[in-house]
Amino acid sequence: MREGPLRDASIFVAAGMCGVASGLFGIGGGVLLVPFLALFFAFGQHRAQGTSLVALIPPTGLLAFLAYAKADFVSWQVGLLLIPGVFVGGILGGWLAKKLQPQRMRQVFAGLMFILGMWQAAAAWWH
Amino acid sequence: MNLIVILLGLGVGVLVGLLGIGGGVVLVPALVYLLRMDQHMAQGTSLLILLPPVGLGALREYWKQEQVDLRAGILCALGILVGGYVGGLIAVPIASRQLRGLFGCFLMLAAFLLLKKPQAQGLPKSSADEGRNRA
């Protein structure tokens, strides 16, 4: 898609859909945003990942978080303990991404995610 | 238990950098299964973790390689902010068990999308795109 207001608007709408998933499932949204950018806007894999990280720098989940916090669905102790690890691990992963074939990595990750998803759905509904 | 939590964070962080994702998609099941959290609690805690810029270190690595579209990234941030509020409002009243099942379905869908992505690297279309954005 060519650059311009139409492309901008499309990106905003696509990201809004990622946002609904983000609030609904308590995730960052990057897991949808990366394939969206690549599939609909012809981003290369590395570029899609880098751009997705930009979108995750500001506290984009803030409004969703407030909705959960108001309902008392937050464990502060575990959350605060996890933050430093994720940050340091992120540097490591960004460095690794340059060395590895991200396509292959993504395939392995997608496979694991699919199995995990099936497991969760089965555990919730299979009684 | 605290050590497990810190190691878990490190592992999730590697995925953040490697795949350019927020990490919540891994965090939520990890909190549910490893720490026995309720589905809503896991999702709220995951959102708390994603509030500070945990991906900043990873972003720096991509930035150095000029693999970032800043304009698109900012638009995406705005879209996610607005959409996230809507999603949060939908999630809170859903029963925890239903939400866990939905989350599982979402994971399968996301996995499918990740696999479906064309091999953009090296395609003329994507290199043209990268050249244009850099200019």
Any idea of the CA torsion for A93, A97, A99, A102, to the nearest 10 degrees?
140
Name which of A47, A106, A125 is nearest B69 (Cβ-Cβ): A47
CA A61 vs. chain centroid, Å, equals 11
Say yes or no: A62 and A83 in one domain: no
Say yes or no: A61 and A114 in one domain: no
Quote the CA–CA distance of A38 and A82 in Å, as a whole number.
29
Q: What is the pLDDT of residues A33-52, one digit of tens each?
A: 888 888 888 888 888 888 98
Read off the amino acid at residue A31: V
pLDDT of residue A72: 92
- Count Cβ atoms below 10 Å from residue A4 Cβ, excluding itself: 8
| pLDDT > 80? residue B45 | yes
- B2 interaction partners in chain A (CB closer than 8 Å): 81
Say yes or no: A26 and A45 in one domain: yes
* Contact criterion met (CB < 8 Å) for B120 and A111: no
| pLDDT > 50? residue B130 | no
Q: Given CB atoms, is A108 within the 8 Å cutoff of chain B?
A: no
In degrees rounded to 5, what are phi and psi of residue A83? Answer: -55, -50
Say yes or no: A85 and A102 in one domain: yes
Q: What is the pLDDT of residues A73-102, one digit of tens each?
A: 999 988 888 888 888 888 888 888 888 776
Say yes or no: A28 and A65 in one domain: yes
Say yes or no: A65 and A82 in one domain: no
Q: Given CB atoms, is A28 within the 8 Å cutoff of chain B?
A: yes
How many domains, in total, are found in chain A?
2
- Count Cβ atoms below 10 Å from residue A65 Cβ, excluding itself: 28
How many domains, in total, are found in chain B?
1
* Contact criterion met (CB < 8 Å) for A110 and B115: yes
Say yes or no: A23 and A68 in one domain: yes
Q: Given CB atoms, is A92 within the 8 Å cutoff of chain B?
A: yes
Q: What is the pLDDT of residues B15-44, one digit of tens each?
A: 888 877 778 888 888 888 888 888 999 999
Least Cα separation, residue A98 to chain B (angstroms):
8
Q: Given CB atoms, is A10 within the 8 Å cutoff of chain B?
A: no
Asked whether residue B61 is domain-assigned, the answer is: no
Asked whether residue B107 is domain-assigned, the answer is: yes
pLDDT of residue A126: 81
The CA R_g of chain A, rounded to the nearest whole Å, is 17
- Count Cβ atoms below 10 Å from residue A75 Cβ, excluding itself: 19
- The domain of A19 spans 1-74
pLDDT of residue B52: 85
pLDDT of residue A97: 81
Asked whether residue B84 is domain-assigned, the answer is: yes
- A76 interaction partners in chain B (CB closer than 8 Å): 48
Asked whether residue B64 is domain-assigned, the answer is: no
Look over chain A and give the mean of its residue pLDDT values, rounded to a whole number: 86
